[in-house]
Amino acid sequence: MTTAESADVLVTPEEVARRIVLPEGHRDDAELFEAYRWLRENNPLGKVSVAGYDPIWLVSKHADIMEIERQPHVFTSGGGDRPGSHNPILQNQAGDAFTQQLTGGSLRILDTLTYLDPPEHTAVKDIAADWFRPANLKKWEDQIRVLAREAIGNYLRPGRNELDFVQDFALFYPLHVIMTLFGVPESDEPRMMALTQEFFGTADPDAQRADVEPLTPEAAAQQWAAAIQDFYTYFDVLVADRRTNPREDLATLIASARTPEGEYYANTFAYGWFIAIATAGHDTTSSTMAGTIEQLALHPEQLAAVQAEPALTPDLVNEGLRWSSPVKQFTRQATQDYTLRGQEIRAGDRFMLLYQSANRDTDVFEEPDTFRLQRRPNKHIAFGYGPHMCIGQHLAKLELRVLFEELLPRIKSIAVTGDPKVVQTNFVGGLRNLPVRLELT
């Protein structure tokens, strides 16, 4: 049963809570976004209990997420080793128990930024923070443009293209970009592709590994852990190589990073960086690209507008990010008692930050359920907010802008020719399939 913390707090209907918390609730975007709307209008900060999961506050409003995100000392992200620490990625109780069994009691299965809090988070983020700044990324723009043109030439042709835009195009370009900048050989990209799909498809029957039993309560955690171990096996060789044979690539920068004491960081921190880059740097970009193309197909007047005025492309990217919001949630845990939106929060309470919901908040966005190319201002939080704001946001925007600058001028028409299908996940995902007819010059 879904319950409220006390009698004076509105109860969230069980079907709304299950729709948002459970991965299978994310199979239908229309029903999911209706659940978000119900929360925002009726119980914007409500504590729910869904069977198999810890009780958790659902945070649906833009302002509340920003208030939480800007205070990491009050609302911790870290899945550390201290008693009572939590998992910053929502998982069921059986999955958390499986993770703790693997790690000897910790929910920190990765030494990556998602699981860290300041000051450790700050130190690890600084390893590559300068590399991801716009001033540094500018020097890679020409190479990214070459890769965009190659992707269009390799996967599309002049005239009519009947394809699944996700499976036949969108997945490949951002993966190739990030792996090229990273320094992973192109011959290894199919392996990286498979692992990234397994990593974020832990609850999707279409992306489950053969060595994981899909019906067990801890199946998602088992697949997550197995994918991490496969990444470790690959990246262990990469770390050793870059420390012995440094190159001018991102992998060398990360593998060669040293602590303030002058020692190499433990290999697990390099693995954490590499996994984050290989996964979040790929899937989120492809999901946003596909979601944007779908909307341009449904709104040909907006396609015509950006074709007539290419300077609007950054606005298109921002609206595509707001609309798609491929990172659906992270969780936080209160370290102290706190009052939020009039609710009394207790130390140890957990929060599910619903970024997709926040990006449809009418307090911030006029007509939020309308895709609007020239939406200004566009204060979306698709990359999060505060210290944990995505470090790769500028690279993602650059990849998307360059791709659209190269592809959109060539499009004569786009039509959705079948039913789109989304990835079954409550974490990171978007369209799994988008059948389209694409007419190119």
pLDDT for 17-70, tens place per residue? 999 999 999 999 999 999 999 999 999 999 999 999 999 999 999 999 999 999
Whole-number mean pLDDT of the chain?
A: 91
- pLDDT at 5 exceeding the cut of 70: no
| Within a domain: 133 | yes
| Within a domain: 5 | no
| Within a domain: 9 | no
Q: What does the pLDDT average to over 88-101?
A: 91
Give the relative orientation of helices 393-407 and 141-155 as an angle to the nearest 10 degrees.
50
**What's the total number of domains in the chain?**
1
Q: Provide the pLDDT confidence category of residue 208 given band limits of 50, 70 and 90.
A: low
| Within a domain: 401 | yes
pLDDT at position 78 is: 82
pLDDT at position 9 is: 57
Torsion over CA: 188, 222, 287, 76 (sign): negative
Number of CB atoms found within 10 A of residue 219's CB: 20
Bridge partner list, 437:
162, 415
Torsion over CA: 200, 203, 205, 209 (sign): positive
Residue % of the chain over a pLDDT of 90: 77
Number of CB atoms found within 10 A of residue 110's CB: 22
pLDDT at position 205 is: 66
| Within a domain: 371 | yes
Q: What does the pLDDT average to over 385-395?
A: 94
| Within a domain: 378 | yes
| Within a domain: 2 | no
| Within a domain: 1 | no
CATH number at residue 201: 1.10.630.10
Rounded CA separation 68/352 (Å) = 11
Domain of 192? 14-440
